[in-house]
Structure 1
Amino acid sequence: MSPTAIITLIIFFIALVILFSSFVTVRQGTIAVITTFGKYRRILTPGLNLKLPFIENIYSQISIQNRSVELEFQAVTYDQANVYFKAMLLFSVLDQREETIKNVAFKFVDERNLMQALIRTVEGSIRAFVATKRQTEVLVLRRDIVEHVKEQLDTILENWGYHLQDLQLNDITFDDVIMKSMSQVVASNNLKAAAENEGQALLITKTKAAEAEGNAIKISAEAERQAAQLRGQGIALFREEVAKGMTMAAKEMQTANMDTSVILFTMWTESIKHFAENSKGNVIFLDGSTEGMNRTMKEMMSLNLLHTDQVKK
Protein backbone atom coordinates (compact mmCIF):
# COMPACT_ATOMS: atom_id res chain seq x y z
CA MET A 1 0.00 0.00 0.00
CA SER A 2 1.30 3.40 -0.99
CA PRO A 3 2.07 6.15 1.53
CA THR A 4 -0.73 8.26 0.07
CA ALA A 5 -3.26 5.54 0.64
CA ILE A 6 -2.08 5.08 4.21
CA ILE A 7 -2.36 8.82 4.92
CA THR A 8 -5.83 8.88 3.33
CA LEU A 9 -6.89 5.94 5.49
CA ILE A 10 -5.60 7.62 8.65
CA ILE A 11 -7.36 10.87 7.76
CA PHE A 12 -10.59 8.96 7.12
CA PHE A 13 -10.27 7.13 10.46
CA ILE A 14 -9.65 10.40 12.32
CA ALA A 15 -12.62 12.04 10.57
CA LEU A 16 -14.76 9.07 11.49
CA VAL A 17 -13.68 9.31 15.16
CA ILE A 18 -14.36 13.05 15.18
CA LEU A 19 -17.75 12.50 13.62
CA PHE A 20 -18.81 9.92 16.18
CA SER A 21 -17.39 12.02 19.00
CA SER A 22 -19.59 14.91 17.94
CA PHE A 23 -22.80 13.03 18.74
CA VAL A 24 -23.97 12.54 22.33
CA THR A 25 -27.05 10.62 23.48
CA VAL A 26 -28.60 11.79 26.73
CA ARG A 27 -30.96 9.33 28.45
CA GLN A 28 -34.53 10.24 29.29
CA GLY A 29 -34.83 11.57 32.84
CA THR A 30 -31.29 13.00 32.87
CA ILE A 31 -29.57 16.21 31.83
CA ALA A 32 -25.90 16.28 30.75
CA VAL A 33 -23.56 19.03 31.94
CA ILE A 34 -20.94 20.12 29.39
CA THR A 35 -17.62 21.76 30.31
CA THR A 36 -14.91 23.25 28.14
CA PHE A 37 -11.41 22.80 29.51
CA GLY A 38 -12.95 22.29 32.97
CA LYS A 39 -15.26 25.32 32.82
CA TYR A 40 -19.03 25.07 32.67
CA ARG A 41 -20.25 25.49 29.10
CA ARG A 42 -23.88 24.40 28.70
CA ILE A 43 -26.41 21.61 29.34
CA LEU A 44 -27.76 18.94 27.02
CA THR A 45 -31.37 17.75 27.18
CA PRO A 46 -32.53 14.13 26.64
CA GLY A 47 -32.07 12.79 23.11
CA LEU A 48 -29.35 13.10 20.45
CA ASN A 49 -27.10 16.17 20.83
CA LEU A 50 -23.99 17.60 19.14
CA LYS A 51 -20.82 18.74 20.91
CA LEU A 52 -17.38 19.87 19.89
CA PRO A 53 -15.13 16.83 19.98
CA PHE A 54 -12.04 16.95 22.18
CA ILE A 55 -13.08 20.43 23.43
CA GLU A 56 -16.42 19.92 25.11
CA ASN A 57 -16.62 17.15 27.68
CA ILE A 58 -19.54 15.63 29.59
CA TYR A 59 -18.85 16.56 33.21
CA SER A 60 -21.81 14.65 34.65
CA GLN A 61 -25.32 13.51 33.91
CA ILE A 62 -27.88 14.79 36.45
CA SER A 63 -30.96 12.67 37.15
CA ILE A 64 -34.13 14.72 37.37
CA GLN A 65 -36.21 11.78 38.57
CA ASN A 66 -37.51 11.33 42.12
CA ARG A 67 -35.06 9.65 44.46
CA SER A 68 -35.59 8.07 47.86
CA VAL A 69 -33.41 7.19 50.81
CA GLU A 70 -34.18 5.42 54.08
CA LEU A 71 -33.05 6.90 57.38
CA GLU A 72 -32.56 5.41 60.84
CA PHE A 73 -31.47 7.71 63.64
CA GLN A 74 -31.98 8.58 67.31
CA ALA A 75 -33.19 11.74 69.03
CA VAL A 76 -33.58 12.82 72.67
CA THR A 77 -36.70 14.48 74.03
CA TYR A 78 -36.93 17.37 76.48
CA ASP A 79 -37.36 14.92 79.39
CA GLN A 80 -34.31 12.87 78.32
CA ALA A 81 -36.13 9.98 76.63
CA ASN A 82 -34.49 8.28 73.66
CA VAL A 83 -36.61 8.23 70.50
CA TYR A 84 -35.75 6.02 67.52
CA PHE A 85 -36.91 7.03 64.07
CA LYS A 86 -37.22 5.10 60.82
CA ALA A 87 -38.00 7.41 57.96
CA MET A 88 -38.17 7.54 54.19
CA LEU A 89 -36.97 10.68 52.40
CA LEU A 90 -38.21 11.49 48.89
CA PHE A 91 -36.48 14.30 46.98
CA SER A 92 -35.74 15.45 43.44
CA VAL A 93 -34.05 18.17 41.42
CA LEU A 94 -35.95 21.41 41.88
CA ASP A 95 -36.48 22.10 38.15
CA GLN A 96 -34.67 21.89 34.80
CA ARG A 97 -33.46 25.48 34.63
CA GLU A 98 -29.80 25.95 33.78
CA GLU A 99 -28.98 27.67 37.08
CA THR A 100 -30.56 24.84 39.04
CA ILE A 101 -28.63 22.21 37.11
CA LYS A 102 -25.37 24.11 37.70
CA ASN A 103 -26.06 24.08 41.48
CA VAL A 104 -26.75 20.36 41.43
CA ALA A 105 -23.61 19.64 39.39
CA PHE A 106 -21.09 21.81 41.26
CA LYS A 107 -22.34 22.32 44.86
CA PHE A 108 -20.93 18.99 46.08
CA VAL A 109 -17.84 17.04 45.21
CA ASP A 110 -19.77 13.87 44.54
CA GLU A 111 -23.01 12.02 45.20
CA ARG A 112 -21.79 10.62 48.50
CA ASN A 113 -21.20 14.08 49.96
CA LEU A 114 -24.64 15.22 48.80
CA MET A 115 -26.40 12.30 50.50
CA GLN A 116 -24.41 12.77 53.68
CA ALA A 117 -25.29 16.47 53.88
CA LEU A 118 -28.95 15.81 53.06
CA ILE A 119 -29.34 13.04 55.64
CA ARG A 120 -27.53 14.95 58.38
CA THR A 121 -29.60 18.05 57.71
CA VAL A 122 -32.88 16.12 58.00
CA GLU A 123 -31.74 14.33 61.15
CA GLY A 124 -30.55 17.58 62.72
CA SER A 125 -33.85 19.32 62.03
CA ILE A 126 -35.87 16.46 63.58
CA ARG A 127 -33.56 16.24 66.60
CA ALA A 128 -33.89 19.98 67.22
CA PHE A 129 -37.68 19.73 67.09
CA VAL A 130 -37.91 16.64 69.31
CA ALA A 131 -35.58 18.20 71.89
CA THR A 132 -38.30 20.75 72.70
CA LYS A 133 -41.03 18.13 73.26
CA ARG A 134 -41.75 15.58 75.95
CA GLN A 135 -41.81 11.89 75.16
CA THR A 136 -45.59 11.73 75.67
CA GLU A 137 -46.04 14.35 72.94
CA VAL A 138 -43.81 12.87 70.25
CA LEU A 139 -46.16 10.11 69.07
CA VAL A 140 -49.01 12.53 68.36
CA LEU A 141 -46.78 15.10 66.62
CA ARG A 142 -45.85 13.02 63.57
CA ARG A 143 -47.43 15.46 61.13
CA ASP A 144 -45.97 18.46 62.97
CA ILE A 145 -42.48 16.96 62.74
CA VAL A 146 -42.81 16.48 58.98
CA GLU A 147 -44.09 20.04 58.47
CA HIS A 148 -41.27 21.43 60.63
CA VAL A 149 -38.62 19.58 58.60
CA LYS A 150 -40.06 20.76 55.30
CA GLU A 151 -40.22 24.33 56.52
CA GLN A 152 -36.61 24.24 57.72
CA LEU A 153 -35.16 22.47 54.68
CA ASP A 154 -36.95 24.09 51.76
CA THR A 155 -34.61 27.10 51.57
CA ILE A 156 -31.47 25.05 52.16
CA LEU A 157 -32.31 22.43 49.53
CA GLU A 158 -33.30 25.08 46.99
CA ASN A 159 -29.81 26.54 47.27
CA TRP A 160 -28.47 23.08 46.45
CA GLY A 161 -30.88 22.73 43.53
CA TYR A 162 -33.12 20.12 45.21
CA HIS A 163 -36.64 19.96 46.56
CA LEU A 164 -37.94 17.80 49.43
CA GLN A 165 -40.97 15.99 48.03
CA ASP A 166 -41.99 14.03 51.10
CA LEU A 167 -40.79 12.79 54.47
CA GLN A 168 -42.53 9.77 55.97
CA LEU A 169 -41.89 8.74 59.56
CA ASN A 170 -42.60 5.03 59.26
CA ASP A 171 -41.72 4.07 62.83
CA ILE A 172 -41.26 5.93 66.11
CA THR A 173 -40.15 3.87 69.11
CA PHE A 174 -38.67 4.37 72.56
CA ASP A 175 -36.54 2.30 74.89
CA ASP A 176 -38.13 -0.95 76.11
CA VAL A 177 -38.66 0.41 79.62
CA ILE A 178 -40.49 3.46 78.31
CA MET A 179 -42.55 1.39 75.86
CA LYS A 180 -43.60 -0.94 78.69
CA SER A 181 -44.54 1.96 80.97
CA MET A 182 -46.50 3.59 78.13
CA SER A 183 -48.37 0.33 77.57
CA GLN A 184 -49.20 0.19 81.28
CA VAL A 185 -50.45 3.77 81.19
CA VAL A 186 -52.64 2.98 78.17
CA ALA A 187 -53.96 -0.17 79.86
CA SER A 188 -54.77 1.70 83.09
CA ASN A 189 -56.45 4.50 81.14
CA ASN A 190 -58.53 1.92 79.28
CA LEU A 191 -59.55 0.30 82.57
CA LYS A 192 -60.41 3.71 83.99
CA ALA A 193 -62.47 4.58 80.92
CA ALA A 194 -64.23 1.20 81.11
CA ALA A 195 -65.02 1.74 84.79
CA GLU A 196 -66.34 5.24 84.08
CA ASN A 197 -68.47 3.94 81.23
CA GLU A 198 -69.80 1.13 83.42
CA GLY A 199 -70.56 3.63 86.19
CA GLN A 200 -72.35 5.92 83.76
CA ALA A 201 -74.33 2.98 82.38
CA LEU A 202 -75.31 1.93 85.91
CA LEU A 203 -76.25 5.52 86.75
CA ILE A 204 -78.40 5.74 83.64
CA THR A 205 -80.04 2.40 84.48
CA LYS A 206 -80.75 3.46 88.07
CA THR A 207 -82.01 6.85 86.91
CA LYS A 208 -84.34 5.29 84.36
CA ALA A 209 -85.59 2.79 86.95
CA ALA A 210 -86.21 5.61 89.46
CA GLU A 211 -88.00 7.64 86.81
CA ALA A 212 -90.14 4.64 85.88
CA GLU A 213 -90.93 3.96 89.54
CA GLY A 214 -91.74 7.63 90.11
CA ASN A 215 -94.01 7.68 87.07
CA ALA A 216 -95.72 4.50 88.29
CA ILE A 217 -96.27 6.07 91.71
CA LYS A 218 -97.63 9.23 90.08
CA ILE A 219 -99.97 7.20 87.89
CA SER A 220 -101.10 5.09 90.85
CA ALA A 221 -101.63 8.18 93.00
CA GLU A 222 -103.57 9.89 90.22
CA ALA A 223 -105.69 6.79 89.74
CA GLU A 224 -106.32 6.56 93.49
CA ARG A 225 -107.21 10.25 93.59
CA GLN A 226 -109.67 9.84 90.75
CA ALA A 227 -111.10 6.69 92.37
CA ALA A 228 -111.49 8.48 95.71
CA GLN A 229 -113.15 11.38 93.92
CA LEU A 230 -115.53 9.00 92.17
CA ARG A 231 -116.24 7.20 95.46
CA GLY A 232 -116.96 10.52 97.15
CA GLN A 233 -119.25 11.52 94.32
CA GLY A 234 -121.01 8.15 94.59
CA ILE A 235 -121.50 8.50 98.34
CA ALA A 236 -122.79 12.05 97.91
CA LEU A 237 -125.29 10.90 95.27
CA PHE A 238 -126.30 7.99 97.48
CA ARG A 239 -126.90 10.29 100.43
CA GLU A 240 -128.79 12.69 98.23
CA GLU A 241 -131.06 9.91 96.97
CA VAL A 242 -131.52 8.57 100.51
CA ALA A 243 -132.47 12.04 101.69
CA LYS A 244 -134.96 12.40 98.85
CA GLY A 245 -136.46 8.99 99.64
CA MET A 246 -136.73 9.75 103.33
CA THR A 247 -138.38 13.10 102.59
CA MET A 248 -140.95 11.49 100.31
CA ALA A 249 -141.59 8.69 102.80
CA ALA A 250 -141.97 11.19 105.63
CA LYS A 251 -144.48 13.23 103.61
CA GLU A 252 -146.53 10.15 102.81
CA MET A 253 -146.53 9.04 106.44
CA GLN A 254 -147.56 12.50 107.60
CA THR A 255 -150.40 12.39 105.09
CA ALA A 256 -151.45 9.01 106.51
CA ASN A 257 -151.12 10.38 110.11
CA MET A 258 -148.31 7.96 110.93
CA ASP A 259 -145.25 8.55 113.15
CA THR A 260 -142.22 9.30 110.95
CA SER A 261 -139.82 7.79 113.49
CA VAL A 262 -140.77 4.40 112.13
CA ILE A 263 -138.60 5.26 109.10
CA LEU A 264 -135.55 5.74 111.27
CA PHE A 265 -136.26 2.51 113.12
CA THR A 266 -136.55 0.64 109.82
CA MET A 267 -133.22 2.10 108.60
CA TRP A 268 -131.62 1.14 111.90
CA THR A 269 -132.78 -2.48 111.62
CA GLU A 270 -131.72 -2.59 107.94
CA SER A 271 -128.28 -1.34 108.93
CA ILE A 272 -127.93 -4.08 111.56
CA LYS A 273 -128.98 -6.65 108.97
CA HIS A 274 -126.37 -5.27 106.53
CA PHE A 275 -123.66 -5.44 109.21
CA ALA A 276 -124.57 -9.04 109.97
CA GLU A 277 -124.49 -10.11 106.33
CA ASN A 278 -121.36 -8.28 105.15
CA SER A 279 -119.19 -7.84 108.22
CA LYS A 280 -116.17 -10.11 108.69
CA GLY A 281 -116.66 -10.22 112.46
CA ASN A 282 -118.60 -12.87 114.32
CA VAL A 283 -120.23 -10.76 117.08
CA ILE A 284 -122.30 -7.52 116.97
CA PHE A 285 -122.70 -5.78 120.33
CA LEU A 286 -126.09 -4.02 120.71
CA ASP A 287 -127.71 -2.39 123.71
CA GLY A 288 -130.98 -4.32 123.90
CA SER A 289 -132.27 -2.77 127.11
CA THR A 290 -135.41 -0.61 127.20
CA GLU A 291 -133.40 2.46 128.16
CA GLY A 292 -130.93 1.88 125.34
CA MET A 293 -133.74 1.42 122.84
CA ASN A 294 -135.48 4.60 124.01
CA ARG A 295 -132.20 6.55 123.86
CA THR A 296 -131.49 5.30 120.34
CA MET A 297 -135.03 6.16 119.15
CA LYS A 298 -134.78 9.66 120.66
CA GLU A 299 -131.46 10.25 118.91
CA MET A 300 -132.87 9.05 115.61
CA MET A 301 -135.97 11.23 116.02
CA SER A 302 -133.74 14.22 116.80
CA LEU A 303 -131.77 13.58 113.63
CA ASN A 304 -135.04 13.28 111.71
CA LEU A 305 -136.31 16.59 113.04
CA LEU A 306 -132.97 18.27 112.23
CA HIS A 307 -133.11 16.91 108.73
CA THR A 308 -136.72 18.06 108.30
CA ASP A 309 -135.83 21.57 109.43
CA GLN A 310 -132.94 21.66 106.96
CA VAL A 311 -135.19 20.54 104.14
CA LYS A 312 -137.76 23.25 104.96
CA LYS A 313 -135.10 25.90 104.98
Structure 2
Amino acid sequence: MCLIPFTISTSEVGVIESFGKFKRMAPPGLGCLICCVEDLVGRMSYRVQQLDVRVETKTLDNVFITAVVSIQFQVLQEKVYEAFYALTDPRRQITAHVFDVMRAELPNLELDAVFEAKEDLAIAVKGALSETMTQYGYQILQVLITDLDPDQRVKNAMNEINSSKRLKFAVAERAEGDKILKVKSAEAEAEAKYLSGVGVAKQRKAIVDGLKTSVKDFTDGVKGTNSKDTLDLLLLTQYFDCIKDVGSAPNCKTTFIPTSKTVGDEMRTSLLQADMAKSK
Protein backbone atom coordinates (compact mmCIF):
# COMPACT_ATOMS: atom_id res chain seq x y z
CA MET A 1 0.00 0.00 0.00
CA CYS A 2 1.44 3.34 -1.07
CA LEU A 3 0.93 6.45 1.07
CA ILE A 4 1.07 10.01 -0.23
CA PRO A 5 1.99 12.64 2.42
CA PHE A 6 0.38 16.09 2.57
CA THR A 7 0.20 19.01 5.01
CA ILE A 8 -2.66 21.19 6.22
CA SER A 9 -1.90 24.70 7.54
CA THR A 10 -3.11 26.07 10.83
CA SER A 11 -6.68 27.39 10.76
CA GLU A 12 -7.48 25.14 7.81
CA VAL A 13 -9.07 21.75 7.33
CA GLY A 14 -8.69 19.35 4.42
CA VAL A 15 -11.58 17.52 2.73
CA ILE A 16 -10.72 13.95 1.70
CA GLU A 17 -12.82 11.80 -0.63
CA SER A 18 -12.57 8.18 -1.60
CA PHE A 19 -13.72 7.33 -5.13
CA GLY A 20 -15.73 10.57 -5.27
CA LYS A 21 -17.42 10.07 -1.88
CA PHE A 22 -16.69 12.13 1.19
CA LYS A 23 -14.59 10.15 3.65
CA ARG A 24 -13.11 12.39 6.33
CA MET A 25 -11.72 15.78 7.35
CA ALA A 26 -7.95 16.22 7.72
CA PRO A 27 -6.83 18.42 10.65
CA PRO A 28 -3.82 20.79 10.50
CA GLY A 29 -0.46 19.11 10.30
CA LEU A 30 1.02 16.16 8.37
CA GLY A 31 -1.32 13.60 6.87
CA CYS A 32 -1.22 10.72 4.41
CA LEU A 33 -3.44 9.61 1.57
CA ILE A 34 -3.82 6.05 0.34
CA CYS A 35 -2.61 6.07 -3.21
CA CYS A 36 -5.35 5.57 -5.83
CA VAL A 37 -7.96 5.32 -3.07
CA GLU A 38 -8.10 8.68 -1.29
CA ASP A 39 -7.87 12.17 -2.72
CA LEU A 40 -7.51 15.61 -1.07
CA VAL A 41 -10.23 17.48 -2.94
CA GLY A 42 -10.15 20.79 -1.12
CA ARG A 43 -9.18 22.94 1.83
CA MET A 44 -11.45 25.12 3.97
CA SER A 45 -10.06 28.06 5.95
CA TYR A 46 -11.35 29.06 9.36
CA ARG A 47 -9.88 32.54 8.96
CA VAL A 48 -12.15 35.58 8.77
CA GLN A 49 -12.75 36.56 5.15
CA GLN A 50 -14.06 39.79 3.68
CA LEU A 51 -16.18 40.37 0.60
CA ASP A 52 -16.81 43.89 -0.79
CA VAL A 53 -20.01 44.24 -2.81
CA ARG A 54 -20.81 47.34 -4.91
CA VAL A 55 -24.53 47.90 -5.31
CA GLU A 56 -25.98 50.55 -7.62
CA THR A 57 -29.60 51.52 -7.09
CA LYS A 58 -31.80 54.60 -6.81
CA THR A 59 -33.31 56.36 -3.80
CA LEU A 60 -36.86 57.51 -3.13
CA ASP A 61 -36.13 60.90 -4.73
CA ASN A 62 -34.82 59.19 -7.91
CA VAL A 63 -31.12 59.71 -7.30
CA PHE A 64 -28.83 56.88 -8.36
CA ILE A 65 -26.28 55.94 -5.73
CA THR A 66 -23.53 53.33 -5.46
CA ALA A 67 -23.15 51.66 -2.07
CA VAL A 68 -20.16 49.56 -1.04
CA VAL A 69 -21.06 46.84 1.47
CA SER A 70 -18.25 44.94 3.23
CA ILE A 71 -19.18 41.51 4.65
CA GLN A 72 -16.86 39.76 7.10
CA PHE A 73 -17.57 36.02 7.44
CA GLN A 74 -15.92 32.72 8.35
CA VAL A 75 -16.60 28.99 8.10
CA LEU A 76 -18.20 27.30 11.12
CA GLN A 77 -15.95 24.46 12.31
CA GLU A 78 -18.91 22.23 13.08
CA LYS A 79 -20.38 22.76 9.60
CA VAL A 80 -17.39 22.36 7.32
CA TYR A 81 -19.20 19.63 5.34
CA GLU A 82 -22.12 21.97 4.54
CA ALA A 83 -19.78 24.87 3.74
CA PHE A 84 -17.83 22.74 1.25
CA TYR A 85 -20.61 20.73 -0.41
CA ALA A 86 -23.77 22.88 -0.10
CA LEU A 87 -22.69 25.89 -2.18
CA THR A 88 -20.80 25.97 -5.46
CA ASP A 89 -19.72 29.61 -5.01
CA PRO A 90 -20.52 31.08 -1.54
CA ARG A 91 -19.28 34.55 -2.50
CA ARG A 92 -21.80 34.82 -5.33
CA GLN A 93 -24.49 33.61 -2.95
CA ILE A 94 -23.61 36.33 -0.42
CA THR A 95 -23.46 38.96 -3.18
CA ALA A 96 -26.95 38.01 -4.39
CA HIS A 97 -28.42 38.44 -0.90
CA VAL A 98 -26.71 41.83 -0.49
CA PHE A 99 -28.14 43.05 -3.81
CA ASP A 100 -31.60 41.83 -2.81
CA VAL A 101 -31.63 43.62 0.55
CA MET A 102 -30.02 46.86 -0.58
CA ARG A 103 -32.26 47.23 -3.64
CA ALA A 104 -35.29 46.64 -1.44
CA GLU A 105 -34.28 49.12 1.31
CA LEU A 106 -32.66 52.05 -0.50
CA PRO A 107 -35.64 52.91 -2.77
CA ASN A 108 -37.64 53.61 0.40
CA LEU A 109 -35.23 56.35 1.58
CA GLU A 110 -34.42 59.79 0.25
CA LEU A 111 -30.78 60.63 -0.44
CA ASP A 112 -30.23 62.61 2.76
CA ALA A 113 -31.84 59.84 4.82
CA VAL A 114 -29.61 57.18 3.26
CA PHE A 115 -26.51 58.67 4.87
CA GLU A 116 -28.25 58.70 8.24
CA ALA A 117 -29.52 55.11 7.90
CA LYS A 118 -26.19 53.37 7.26
CA GLU A 119 -26.41 51.44 10.52
CA ASP A 120 -29.99 50.32 9.84
CA LEU A 121 -29.02 49.14 6.35
CA ALA A 122 -26.07 47.17 7.73
CA ILE A 123 -28.31 45.49 10.32
CA ALA A 124 -30.86 44.57 7.63
CA VAL A 125 -28.18 43.01 5.41
CA LYS A 126 -26.60 41.11 8.30
CA GLY A 127 -29.97 39.74 9.41
CA ALA A 128 -30.81 38.46 5.94
CA LEU A 129 -27.37 36.90 5.42
CA SER A 130 -27.18 35.30 8.86
CA GLU A 131 -30.57 33.66 8.43
CA THR A 132 -29.56 32.14 5.09
CA MET A 133 -25.83 31.46 5.29
CA THR A 134 -25.76 29.81 8.73
CA GLN A 135 -27.48 26.71 7.35
CA TYR A 136 -24.74 26.48 4.72
CA GLY A 137 -21.95 26.56 7.31
CA TYR A 138 -20.99 30.26 7.16
CA GLN A 139 -21.14 32.72 10.05
CA ILE A 140 -21.67 36.40 9.22
CA LEU A 141 -19.54 38.34 11.71
CA GLN A 142 -20.02 41.92 10.59
CA VAL A 143 -21.62 43.96 7.80
CA LEU A 144 -20.33 47.49 7.14
CA ILE A 145 -21.59 50.14 4.74
CA THR A 146 -18.18 51.54 3.83
CA ASP A 147 -19.16 53.97 1.07
CA LEU A 148 -22.19 55.78 -0.32
CA ASP A 149 -21.38 57.50 -3.59
CA PRO A 150 -24.07 59.41 -5.55
CA ASP A 151 -23.45 60.86 -8.99
CA GLN A 152 -20.86 63.64 -9.09
CA ARG A 153 -23.41 66.19 -10.30
CA VAL A 154 -25.63 65.34 -7.34
CA LYS A 155 -22.71 65.82 -4.95
CA ASN A 156 -21.90 69.16 -6.53
CA ALA A 157 -25.52 70.25 -6.16
CA MET A 158 -25.59 69.17 -2.51
CA ASN A 159 -22.38 71.09 -1.83
CA GLU A 160 -23.80 74.15 -3.59
CA ILE A 161 -26.97 74.02 -1.48
CA ASN A 162 -24.96 73.71 1.70
CA SER A 163 -22.64 76.53 0.61
CA SER A 164 -25.61 78.80 -0.19
CA LYS A 165 -27.17 78.15 3.23
CA ARG A 166 -23.94 78.94 5.02
CA LEU A 167 -23.43 82.07 2.89
CA LYS A 168 -26.95 83.21 3.78
CA PHE A 169 -26.25 82.80 7.48
CA ALA A 170 -22.90 84.57 7.09
CA VAL A 171 -24.50 87.56 5.36
CA ALA A 172 -27.18 87.80 8.05
CA GLU A 173 -24.58 87.65 10.82
CA ARG A 174 -22.41 90.25 9.07
CA ALA A 175 -25.41 92.59 8.65
CA GLU A 176 -26.32 92.15 12.31
CA GLY A 177 -22.75 92.97 13.28
CA ASP A 178 -22.74 96.12 11.10
CA LYS A 179 -26.05 97.16 12.66
CA ILE A 180 -24.66 96.80 16.17
CA LEU A 181 -21.54 98.80 15.23
CA LYS A 182 -23.61 101.63 13.74
CA VAL A 183 -25.99 101.73 16.71
CA LYS A 184 -23.11 101.78 19.18
CA SER A 185 -21.31 104.42 17.12
CA ALA A 186 -24.44 106.61 17.05
CA GLU A 187 -24.91 106.18 20.80
CA ALA A 188 -21.28 107.10 21.40
CA GLU A 189 -21.54 110.15 19.15
CA ALA A 190 -24.73 111.30 20.91
CA GLU A 191 -23.10 110.83 24.32
CA ALA A 192 -19.99 112.70 23.18
CA LYS A 193 -22.04 115.62 21.87
CA TYR A 194 -24.06 115.72 25.06
CA LEU A 195 -20.95 115.77 27.22
CA SER A 196 -19.35 118.35 24.91
CA GLY A 197 -22.41 120.62 25.29
CA VAL A 198 -22.34 120.18 29.05
CA GLY A 199 -18.65 121.06 29.06
CA VAL A 200 -19.16 124.18 26.93
CA ALA A 201 -22.05 125.29 29.14
CA LYS A 202 -19.97 124.84 32.27
CA GLN A 203 -17.05 126.64 30.64
CA ARG A 204 -19.19 129.63 29.72
CA LYS A 205 -20.74 129.71 33.18
CA ALA A 206 -17.29 129.63 34.75
CA ILE A 207 -16.13 132.48 32.47
CA VAL A 208 -19.18 134.58 33.33
CA ASP A 209 -18.75 133.92 37.06
CA GLY A 210 -15.04 134.76 36.83
CA LEU A 211 -15.72 138.00 34.97
CA LYS A 212 -18.41 138.93 37.44
CA THR A 213 -16.09 138.37 40.37
CA SER A 214 -13.20 140.19 38.68
CA VAL A 215 -15.32 143.23 37.84
CA LYS A 216 -16.73 143.42 41.36
CA ASP A 217 -13.32 143.06 43.05
CA PHE A 218 -11.62 145.60 40.75
CA THR A 219 -14.43 148.14 41.15
CA ASP A 220 -14.41 147.76 44.93
CA GLY A 221 -10.60 147.86 45.16
CA VAL A 222 -9.88 150.79 42.83
CA LYS A 223 -11.81 153.94 43.60
CA GLY A 224 -13.14 156.02 40.73
CA THR A 225 -13.48 153.04 38.31
CA ASN A 226 -16.59 151.49 36.92
CA SER A 227 -17.48 148.20 35.22
CA LYS A 228 -16.59 149.59 31.76
CA ASP A 229 -13.04 150.29 32.82
CA THR A 230 -12.74 146.79 34.24
CA LEU A 231 -14.00 145.15 31.05
CA ASP A 232 -11.62 147.25 28.95
CA LEU A 233 -8.72 146.10 31.10
CA LEU A 234 -9.82 142.45 30.81
CA LEU A 235 -10.20 142.67 27.06
CA LEU A 236 -6.76 144.27 26.78
CA THR A 237 -5.25 141.55 28.91
CA GLN A 238 -6.86 138.85 26.75
CA TYR A 239 -5.58 140.66 23.67
CA PHE A 240 -1.99 140.58 24.90
CA ASP A 241 -2.36 136.94 25.92
CA CYS A 242 -3.56 136.14 22.42
CA ILE A 243 -0.55 137.96 20.88
CA LYS A 244 1.76 136.06 23.22
CA ASP A 245 0.30 132.70 22.21
CA VAL A 246 0.48 133.54 18.51
CA GLY A 247 4.04 134.82 18.79
CA SER A 248 5.26 131.74 20.67
CA ALA A 249 3.86 129.30 18.08
CA PRO A 250 6.62 127.25 16.33
CA ASN A 251 5.58 128.33 12.81
CA CYS A 252 5.19 132.06 13.66
CA LYS A 253 8.00 134.25 12.25
CA THR A 254 6.45 137.73 12.21
CA THR A 255 3.53 139.32 14.10
CA PHE A 256 1.93 142.61 13.01
CA ILE A 257 0.41 144.65 15.89
CA PRO A 258 -1.73 147.76 15.25
CA THR A 259 -0.35 150.92 16.99
CA SER A 260 -3.22 153.35 16.59
CA LYS A 261 -4.08 155.54 19.58
CA THR A 262 -7.62 154.32 19.43
CA VAL A 263 -6.66 150.67 19.17
CA GLY A 264 -8.05 149.89 22.60
CA ASP A 265 -11.46 151.37 21.81
CA GLU A 266 -11.51 149.78 18.36
CA MET A 267 -10.56 146.37 19.74
CA ARG A 268 -13.12 146.65 22.52
CA THR A 269 -15.82 147.66 20.06
CA SER A 270 -14.94 144.81 17.71
CA LEU A 271 -14.98 142.24 20.48
CA LEU A 272 -18.30 143.50 21.80
CA GLN A 273 -19.80 143.45 18.30
CA ALA A 274 -18.58 139.92 17.77
CA ASP A 275 -20.02 138.85 21.09
CA MET A 276 -23.38 140.48 20.24
CA ALA A 277 -23.38 138.70 16.85
CA LYS A 278 -22.87 135.34 18.57
CA SER A 279 -25.71 135.96 20.99
CA LYS A 280 -28.09 136.73 18.09
Deviation per CA, 1:211-269, whole angstroms, max 9, x where unpaired?
234324423432442343243234324323433443445xxx5xxxxxx7x63564587
Distance across 1 between alignment mates of 2:146 and 2:227: 107
Distance across 1 between alignment mates of 2:63 and 2:271: 94
* Of 84, 106, 109, the match for 1:105: 84
Distance across 1 between alignment mates of 2:69 and 2:199: 80
Cα offset, 1:133, TM superposition: 0.8
User: What corresponds to 1:150 in structure 2?
Assistant: 126
User: What corresponds to 2:92 in structure 1?
Assistant: 116
Distance across 1 between alignment mates of 2:231 and 2:35: 149
1:1-313 matches, within 5 Å, as 15=1, 17=2, 20-21=3-4, 23-34=5-16, 42-50=24-32, 58=40, 60-79=42-61, 81=62, 83-87=64-68, 89-94=70-75, 97=77, 99-106=78-85, 108-110=86-88, 112=89, 114-142=90-118, 144-159=120-135, 160-170=137-147, 172-173=149-150, 180=153, 183-184=156-157, 186-249=159-222, 263-264=226-227, 266=229, 273=265, 275-279=268-272
Q: Decide which structure has greater helix share.
A: 1
Deviation per CA, 1:165-211, whole angstroms, max 9, x where unpaired?
4545445335xxxx646644643552453244234324423432442
**Identity of matched residues, %:** 13
Instruction: Tell whether the 8 Å contact from 2:13 to 2:45 is kept in structure 1 after alignment.
Output: yes
Instruction: Tell whether the 8 Å contact from 1:70 to 1:86 is kept in structure 2 after alignment.
Output: no
Distance across 1 between alignment mates of 2:228 and 2:97: 121
Give the SS at the match of 1:32: strand
**Bigger radius of gyration, 1 or 2?**
1
What amino acid is aligned across from residue 166 of structure 2 in structure 1? A
Give the SS at the match of 2:226: helix
Distance across 1 between alignment mates of 2:87 and 2:131: 21
Distance across 2 between alignment mates of 1:196 and 1:87: 35
RMSD: 4.1
What amino acid is aligned across from residue 84 of structure 2 in structure 1? A
Give the SS at the match of 2:167: helix
What amino acid is aligned across from residue 226 of structure 2 in structure 1? I
Give the SS at the match of 2:108: coil
TM-score using structure 2 length:
0.65
Which 5+ residue runs of structure 2 have no aligned equivalent?
236-263
Which 5+ residue runs of structure 1 have no aligned equivalent?
1-14, 254-259, 285-313
Instruction: Tell whether the 8 Å contact from 2:59 to 2:106 is kept in structure 1 after alignment.
Output: yes
TM-score using structure 1 length:
0.59
Distance across 2 between alignment mates of 1:268 and 1:235: 12
Instruction: Tell whether the 8 Å contact from 2:17 to 2:38 is kept in structure 1 after alignment.
Output: yes
Cα offset, 1:118, TM superposition: 0.9
